Chains A and B, each alone.
Chain A
Amino acid sequence: MNIAVTALTQRLRVRENQIFLALTIVIAVLAGLAAVLFTLAIKGVSYVLFGIAPSDLRLLIVPPLVSLVTGFLLVKYFPEVRGSGVPQTEAAFHLQKGFIPGRVAFGKFLTGALCIGSGHSMGREGPSVQIGAGIASSLGRWFRLSPARARSLVPVGAAAALSAAFNTPIAAVLFALEEIIGDMNAGVIGAAVLASVTSVIVERAILGNQPLFRVPQYHLIHPAELLAYVVLGIVGGIVSLAFCKGLLRLRAFFLSLPARTKLFQPAVGGLIIGIMLIFVPQVFGVGYEYVDQALNNGLLLKTLIVFCLAKLVATIVSYASGNAGGIFAPSLYLGAMAGGAVGIMVHRVAPFATADPGAYALVGMGTLFAGIIRAPMTSVIMIFELTQDYQILVPLMIANMLSFMISRRYQPKPVYHALLEQDHVHLPGPASRTSGMWRARDIMVPDVPLVPPESSVEEAWKLATGNGVRCVPVGSDQTLHGLVTSDALEQAVRSGRTTDLITSLFLPEWQHVHPDQPLELVLERLKQNPGILPVLSRNPINHVEGFITPDSLMQFLQHAWQPEEKNGGGDE
């Protein structure tokens, strides 16, 4: 290669490295400021809407009225900013090369502040993550960084924003790695640490070094108390499961309603929240002041249980009805209440001395976080960062792991991924993200014609017999509607149903893969399908990228085994 061109490329790379470093700091400052401003905006909105001591009427009507406005904004202008923001950020990172439109950060800020400030039981951390990631993505584009570099700024912005929003810089970095990237060894770790530290400095420069909660001193009074943390882990797992299942079911219900109702769904949620606020005002917004009370033994057993159940319902309603806000803070709230309740009960029945219920509330926060968010490492480090006490680690790990395992056993998909799937977005799993493997995209045949859904059985039968295929894909405009087997077609022809629409013969269940999924999964799923395996895009999910058939697989393998053709999977 020409030396001059090499030098040019080298200089461009050096330039990008320098820009990346400077940009990391700028992003951290801006994301940190955005997170702080977001927190202030929520409080400001709350003061404006409710004043100091709101009447019952005000509590009842403000949430639905504000939700009407936010519903309009969310449907018409910012459809990407419903809900938490964490899954959307993950999707942007994995599926859209880190591209987050500029309006997303603004829209999330506006709708998030209105929703949470008007009383919806949601957290500010998830929205902060999306705002931070949005700022990072926009800046990456303005600076015309290479796609890979611009993409790697997304977790940097997310870590910075979370660090400023929750005041735990190490946990913020881990969250970005564990949840957003899904890889604890990601190369972006250095930039994420730098961003996280910078943003927390900015946050403390503005708000002061005030902790979010008055965290009690942790004590493990008796070794047998570890058994109580086993109980807490089980309770945490059950509550996590109830939350995830409830949220997904109610959201699926709202999503199944006609599209024209979308505009009003947040207001329905707002009305329910308004009614709840009259009876249990403690479910209002983020609710960290009540977490603080639970941590400091300020709540009775009955109160803890009522708050836990009310928050569970309120958060599910707020989120599922399509408002903008996260589940990070609610999971901590639920954890503190469940943990405090377990702590009081243990205190009453244990034949030995036990720690204060506040200690259990603290561990409970991590437990629910591990069960709901499914980021066990982040949860351990986050609680450790809050307490700065090594003693808490063993009970925390016991409870977290149990909660995580129970939740994963009965709800295999993490809630963020399941929420994305409800929006027809499939995130790649760890195997799909590993490089150096043969992928579905390498094996698939891209240009297989789809049989239009308005075709008759006879037309499809002719096509199937003409091409000698065992299965016919039906769809239009690269959108797959379903699969029909040649056996089903033959039976229909023999029984004289030749004029029937082909859609009447759709297979009830069939498998698909995404282009980035590995050969092992392709083989496994191809076995389960009748001779054809659709390769669908991840977003939108039913967009056809190609098909894999036994023939295309054989052809690929023949080529792959010739060493000079491809050696990407040589070590497999």
Chain B
Amino acid sequence: MATLETCPKCGDRLSAGLCPNCTEYESRTAHRDVLLLVLTSVLAAGIFLFTRAMAGKERELDTRVGATWFRTGQQQLQAGDLERTIASFRKATASDLENRTYSMALANALALAGHNPEARQILLNLREATPEDAEINLQLARLAAKRGDIEEAVRYYRNALYGLWTGTRIDEQRRNVRLELIQFLLDHDQHNQALSELLILGTEIPPDDATAQMHIAQLFLKSGDPARALAHYRRAIDLERNNPASLAGAGVAAFQMEDYARSERYFETAVARGDNQDSTLPLFTLAKTIVSHDPLTPFLSQQERRRRMIADFDYALQRLQSCLLGARTNAKGGPESALDELKAEALAMRPKLLRDARVDSEVLRAGLGLIYRIEEATSKNCGKAEALDQALLLIGRKHTEAAR
């Protein structure tokens, strides 16, 4: 292989195999490279600082713009203009993406306007950053409740209950959420879940707060636990003796417990204290009718017990006969045989009642059982029952079930 004597690049003579010209050029290039790299790095650092300063200014501007739109949105919300409110809150959020308040406001406005999927999406995005935030979970629960998604609603309500709350009166906020959850569960016939939440709520409410006691009593009543409802009503009455609503509520609870005498007393006091609820008076009347017709009311004389029994029985038999007559006239067929059987049974029992009703409580209970069956059958086949029919039905049920 031939050895070169001149540089193939510049043509200069090589010295010790190297071209002095090119070596010097290379050295100069290396120095230039380093210098350029340093210069560009300094330039980059300068631009970085400048860009950061500009970004900071822009962020400040965005924050100001966001605040302006947020204020505008709040004013529009107060004026009831939901669509404009949403547009303003959107702009506020777009200007200041990190501002949680704006996003929450937007989500709430969207939910108010019925744009639930978007509201939910915003809340879910917010929740990703702060999954334990009680307010976000509560809003999500409300949206799920609106959708009727019980499972999701309960999950988010519980997340809200055990989440982190901000501000003051946290216990009160938690209590309100639990109340909301209970209400939701009751509205969706989830009585067992509602009851378990109510039991917790019962321990949380202040014992000296009559309104809270009354509220929880109402919820117990709704969830089908009149005994606990009555206990809370009584606490409320102890705190506010003249509160007609508590008295009426206690009357209803006692009525549901089939303690008609106590129910009558509560209703009586409620009406005397000025209760004017539409539902009170019919129930009061019914309770009164029951109390005055029940042959097994304690402390009645034998004659009175017999009188009531015979009167109740005859009334029921009469209703059965008129019901049978009506059924035959309409010639519908079908129920007559059952009603005939009841009539035959009643006619067979009547002499026994006349004979033994004074002394034998078993005969009385059997008679009441038959009255119950007659009233049930006639209500089913012959239309709406009168107040006394309802009373007899309830009397019959009470004693039949007690016997059973």
**A26 to chain B: closest residue by CB:** B40
A139 interfacial by beta-carbon distance below 8 Å: yes
**Would you list which residues of chain B between 1 and 54 have a CB under 8 Å from chain A?**
1, 3-4, 7-8, 14, 16-19, 22-23, 26, 29-30, 33, 36-37, 40-41, 43-44, 47-48, 51-52, 54
B387 → chain A closest CB, angstroms: 51
List chain B residues, Cβ under 8 A from A206: 48, 51-52, 55
Q: B48 near A29 (CB under 8 angstroms)? A: yes
A292 to B115, CA, bound (A): 15
A214 interfacial by beta-carbon distance below 8 Å: yes
**Would you list which residues of chain A between 1 and 56 have a CB under 8 Å from chain B?**
1-5, 8, 11-12, 15, 19, 22-23, 26, 29-30, 33, 36-37, 40, 43-44, 47, 52
A355 to B7, CA, bound (A): 72
**Would you list which residues of chain B between 76 and 93 have a CB under 8 Å from chain A?**
90
List chain A residues, Cβ under 8 A from B68: 52
A512 to B287, CA, bound (A): 106
**B22 to chain A: closest residue by CB:** A8
Interface size on A (CB < 8 Å)?
Answer: 45
What mask results when residues 46 to 72 of chain B are scored 1 for a CB within 8 Å of chain A, else 0? 011001101100100100010011000
List chain A residues, Cβ under 8 A from B30: 15
List chain A residues, Cβ under 8 A from B98: 208, 210
A142 interfacial by beta-carbon distance below 8 Å: yes
Q: B4 near A19 (CB under 8 angstroms)? A: no
Q: A8 near B41 (CB under 8 angstroms)? A: no
Q: A40 near B97 (CB under 8 angstroms)? A: no
Interface size on B (CB < 8 Å)?
Answer: 46
**B106 to chain A: closest residue by CB:** A298
A214 to B129, CA, bound (A): 12
Q: B117 near A297 (CB under 8 angstroms)? A: yes
Q: B122 near A47 (CB under 8 angstroms)? A: no
List chain B residues, Cβ under 8 A from A37: 47, 51, 54
A342 → chain B closest CB, angstroms: 16
B124 interfacial by beta-carbon distance below 8 Å: yes
A202 interfacial by beta-carbon distance below 8 Å: yes
Partner of B33, one of A2, A15, A205, A358: A15
A207 to B59, CA, bound (A): 9
**A30 to chain B: closest residue by CB:** B44
List chain A residues, Cβ under 8 A from B3: 2
List chain B residues, Cβ under 8 A from A214: 121-122, 125
Knowing A4-B18, A22-B37, A40-B54, say if A217 contacts B44 (CB, 8 Å): no
**B5 to chain A: closest residue by CB:** A2
Q: A5 near B51 (CB under 8 angstroms)? A: no
Q: B40 near A298 (CB under 8 angstroms)? A: no
**B33 to chain A: closest residue by CB:** A19
List chain B residues, Cβ under 8 A from A139: 40
Q: A144 near B41 (CB under 8 angstroms)? A: no
List chain B residues, Cβ under 8 A from A210: 97-98
Q: A356 near B121 (CB under 8 angstroms)? A: yes
Knowing A4-B18, A297-B121, say if A207 contacts B55 (CB, 8 Å): yes
Q: A5 near B58 (CB under 8 angstroms)? A: no
A19 → chain B closest CB, angstroms: 6
A279 interfacial by beta-carbon distance below 8 Å: no
B389 → chain A closest CB, angstroms: 49
A216 interfacial by beta-carbon distance below 8 Å: yes
B261 interfacial by beta-carbon distance below 8 Å: no
B212 interfacial by beta-carbon distance below 8 Å: no
A297 to B122, CA, bound (A): 10
B388 interfacial by beta-carbon distance below 8 Å: no
List chain A residues, Cβ under 8 A from B41: 26
B327 interfacial by beta-carbon distance below 8 Å: no
A18 to B22, CA, bound (A): 19
Q: A8 near B18 (CB under 8 angstroms)? A: yes
A529 interfacial by beta-carbon distance below 8 Å: no
**A296 to chain B: closest residue by CB:** B121
Q: A29 near B55 (CB under 8 angstroms)? A: no
**Would you list which residues of chain A between 118 and 154 have a CB under 8 Å from chain B?**
139, 142-144
**B3 to chain A: closest residue by CB:** A2
List chain B residues, Cβ under 8 A from A47: 61, 65
B118 interfacial by beta-carbon distance below 8 Å: yes
A3 to B4, CA, bound (A): 9
B310 interfacial by beta-carbon distance below 8 Å: no
Chain B interface main SS type: helix
Partner of A143, one of B17, B19, B36, B48: B36
List chain B residues, Cβ under 8 A from A208: 98
B94 interfacial by beta-carbon distance below 8 Å: yes
**A210 to chain B: closest residue by CB:** B97
A293 interfacial by beta-carbon distance below 8 Å: yes
Partner of B1, one of A1, A216, A356: A1
A4 to B118, CA, bound (A): 72
List chain A residues, Cβ under 8 A from B26: 8, 11-12, 15
List chain B residues, Cβ under 8 A from A298: 90, 110, 115, 118, 121
A289 interfacial by beta-carbon distance below 8 Å: yes
List chain B residues, Cβ under 8 A from A358: 117, 121
List chain B residues, Cβ under 8 A from A207: 55
A4 to B20, CA, bound (A): 12
Q: B90 near A289 (CB under 8 angstroms)? A: yes
Q: A36 near B55 (CB under 8 angstroms)? A: yes
B240 → chain A closest CB, angstroms: 49
Q: A217 near B65 (CB under 8 angstroms)? A: no
**Would you list which residues of chain A between 413 and 458 have a CB under 8 Å from chain B?**
none
B294 → chain A closest CB, angstroms: 55
**Would you list which residues of chain B between 238 and 264 have a CB under 8 Å from chain A?**
none
**A145 to chain B: closest residue by CB:** B33
List chain B residues, Cβ under 8 A from A8: 18-19, 22-23, 26
List chain B residues, Cβ under 8 A from A216: 121, 124-125
**Would you list which residues of chain B between 101 and 136 have a CB under 8 Å from chain A?**
110, 115, 117-118, 120-122, 124-125
Q: B58 near A43 (CB under 8 angstroms)? A: yes
A40 → chain B closest CB, angstroms: 5
List chain B residues, Cβ under 8 A from A142: 36
**B97 to chain A: closest residue by CB:** A210
List chain B residues, Cβ under 8 A from A19: 33, 37
List chain B residues, Cβ under 8 A from A293: 90, 118
**Would you list which residues of chain B between 313 and 362 have a CB under 8 Å from chain A?**
none
List chain B residues, Cβ under 8 A from A296: 118, 121-122, 125
A217 to B97, CA, bound (A): 18
B40 → chain A closest CB, angstroms: 5
A253 → chain B closest CB, angstroms: 35
Most chain B beta-carbon neighbours within 10 Å: one of A8, A30, A202 = A8
B71 → chain A closest CB, angstroms: 12
Partner of B47, one of A33, A289, A297: A33
B96 → chain A closest CB, angstroms: 11
What mask results when residues 467 to 486 of chain A are scored 1 for a CB within 8 Å of chain B, else 0? 00000000000000000000
A44 to B57, CA, bound (A): 10
A552 to B36, CA, bound (A): 50
**B44 to chain A: closest residue by CB:** A29
A231 → chain B closest CB, angstroms: 20
A2 to B315, CA, bound (A): 133
Knowing A3-B17, A26-B41, say if A36 contacts B118 (CB, 8 Å): no
**Would you list which residues of chain A between 150 and 203 have a CB under 8 Å from chain B?**
202
A297 → chain B closest CB, angstroms: 4
Q: A44 near B17 (CB under 8 angstroms)? A: no
List chain A positions with a Cβ less than 8 A from chain B.
Answer: 1-5, 8, 11-12, 15, 19, 22-23, 26, 29-30, 33, 36-37, 40, 43-44, 47, 52, 139, 142-144, 202, 205-208, 210, 214, 216-217, 289, 292-293, 296-298, 356-358
A-B contact pairs, 29 of them (CB 8 A): A1-B4, A2-B4, A2-B8, A4-B4, A5-B8, A8-B22, A8-B26, A11-B26, A15-B29, A15-B30, A19-B33, A19-B37, A26-B41, A30-B44, A33-B47, A33-B48, A37-B47, A37-B51, A37-B54, A40-B58, A43-B58, A44-B54, A47-B61, A52-B69, A142-B36, A289-B90, A298-B90, A357-B117, A358-B117
Q: Which 5 A-B pairs have the closest CB atoms?
A: A4-B17, A297-B117, A298-B118, A296-B121, A2-B4
